[in-house]
Amino acid sequence: MNDELPITPAAPAVHLSLQGKGGVGKSLIASFLAQFYKARDVRATCIDTDPVNQTFSQYAALSAQHLQLMDGNQIDRRRFDFLIESILSGEESFIVDNGASTFVPLWHYMVENRVPSVLRESNRRLVIHTVVTGGQALADTVTGFKSLAESCESRSIVVWVNEYFGPVEHDGKKFSQMSAFLEHEDKVAGTVVIRRRSPDTFGRDLEEMIARKLTFGEIAFATGFTLMSKQRLRMIQRDLFAQLDGLKLLPPKDADGD
């Protein structure tokens, strides 16, 4: 499917944050992506499809729109049509945060309706972002990665290795050494590591920023953060953005002829 049509370097990207396990940082990475695009002065529309916890849309600076997927107590899969049509009608990139409760319905919809092919035919690049985390959720998040990798195109997944809950290791093996990764390595476009740092300093600063739904850009003017807190958060931002730059998710600067 990857070789059906070429995608130009300037093609807008569709970033989907997907993971079947809740509370592992899925909405956080969507916010990091949106901040990265904003910092690099590239336009992106942000959409929050989580029917339970609209965390992404709580970041006022990111202006994420909430897409209602529920009809009463049931998920109305036809409402995914509206999401895809919104993506196809615009010229900018999209960053979509999906809830854990709609992980299976959305991905089933994507596969059943051949959405990756539809996007490719419209010259749009699909990038799937999923989280693998340490601690008790390790097995569940690895399973989530496998379920995506088994049915997606090659080089379409960005794995966010979240060390916040502990090392992402099993039996002494890092994620890149686990069988789940090795069996599906061809599906992975790259990784971004959310590094585990000192919990009393870096950890508490990041927790405060997340709790207040602030962006890195807002921290410089925010009250309640010491100068050193702001310095530590800038260090986290530089690290994450440098990793994202390395993945070449943005169009080349001269792709539009500038």
C-alpha to C-alpha distance for 254 and 118, rounded to whole angstroms: 26
Residue 158: both structure tokens together = 């960005």
Among 256, 252, 223, 218, which residue's Cα sits nearest to residue 237? 218
Phi/psi at 186 (5° precision)? -70, -15
Domain spanning 13-197+236-246: CATH superfamily:
P-loop containing nucleotide triphosphate hydrolases (3.40.50.300)
Confidence (pLDDT) at 64: 95
State the pTM of this model.
0.92
Cα 117-21-115 angle, rounded to 5 deg: 10
Phi-psi domain of 151 (left: phi exceeds 0; alpha: psi -120 through 50; beta: other)? alpha
Please state, as a whole number, how many other Cβ atoms lie within 10 Å of the Cβ of residue 113: 14
72: confidence class by pLDDT, cuts 50, 70, 90: confident
Q: 13-62: per-residue pLDDT in tens? A: 999 999 989 889 999 999 999 999 999 999 999 999 988 888 999 999 99
Tell me the average pLDDT across 126-134: 95
Task: Please give the distance of CA 129 from its chain centroid, rounded to a whole number.
Answer: 4
In the predicted structure, residue 2 carries a pLDDT above the cut 50: no
Q: Are residues 153 and 191 in contact, defined by beta-carbon separation less than 8 angstroms?
A: no
251: confidence class by pLDDT, cuts 50, 70, 90: confident
In the predicted structure, residue 116 carries a pLDDT above the cut 90: yes
Q: What does pLDDT average to over the chain?
A: 91
